[in-house]
Structure 1
Amino acid sequence: MPEYPRKPFKKVGSVIYPVIPTDTLAMIVNSSYGVSWDESADSYVRTGALAGIAVGSSPGNALLPIQAAMRRCVINNSGVVQYYLDPANSTLKVGGGASVLTGADGQVMTEIPALYNGYAYTGTSHIPVISQVPLAGFSVHPAFIKNNVFVPYRYIGAYEGVLYDVSAARYTNGVHLTAAQCVFDAVAKTI
């Protein structure tokens, strides 16, 4: 099994934190970003590293380090990454070779790196912000605490899952879809 590069972590008490290299400390000052929502005017303004960038535009990966660090991978049923998928073509593994997306190698997931969040409420403005690193007033996002222990990554299905019962010839959630119709299931209250 190949090893994949990970951020170094250190344990302080019962909590594990990422180790921040000294040469990246200057970057950390501007590493938080978010949006401010003024509830009275229903207006939005980007904050932190995204300040001055229009809300309706994409600032790109360079200014969205958390989103840029998300990547598709195949993990086995024990939750171990088997390999990462090419960001431009999921039919390939990073570094070359064909990937297997049938489930035989594992499940196709998106790896999400740990993030820290902060929140402020000033006047009528809500200001949620996120960062790759713990900053003053920030806490690890609750999604990255599993059984009261910090986890550096979370995984979410890259594709929407559907459970189909072959023996009953139907979807288990009551959805009966064909290419031309959609039937409402009154019992399950689903489409």
Structure 2
Amino acid sequence: MNTKFFLFLSLIFFNFIPTVSAHTVKISGDVGATIHIEPNDNPRAGEPADAWFALTRKGGQVLPLKECDCQLAVYAEPHAPGEPALLEPTLKPIQAERYEGIPGAVINFPKPGIYELQLSGKPNNIGETFRPFVLKFQVTVAAGKSLATSETLNNVADINQTQNSQNQNFLSPIIIVVILIISMLTIGFLVKFLKKGDTGK
């Protein structure tokens, strides 16, 4: 083994690390939104997460909640079309960063896993000039310190049972990264060990 082989393996390793975008942008017709979830775009199960949507019209003009009849629905993934929402948090106008009056909600995800947030809206007033929209955002929820109530867990258990059976063979990206790091450290150790053996001859 030589240094070039080690560099080659390093290159492969870094190409397979998944890239993560903290803020997802979605567009529907002439309306777009960026979702932000606090804390740090990393919601945890059983803990309240502040979600807000930087809702804008074409051209970048902010679309405040007072001008939009907006609804938020939360679905545990996977879900079937027509399935009722797991949660329907109330949207309230908030101020965040440079945006004023944009839709925001507190969401308490009951379990770790993947959820879909659907923000739908239509003009509040007859004179408004944007088309009705539906924006869908995928959110991954980590395990939290707080436990959800047993009633909520019972409601989610049926929905997530299908997801759990389908995802049994799926390795978490974190586990994959840890395995790759351990592999790289092992290869690095072997390269160093073999170099010592070569110089000793």
TM-score (norm 1): 0.24
More helix by proportion, 1 or 2? 2
Name the structure, 1 or 2, with higher relative contact order (CA <8 Å, separation 6+). 2
Q: Report the structure, 1 or 2, having the larger strand content.
A: 1
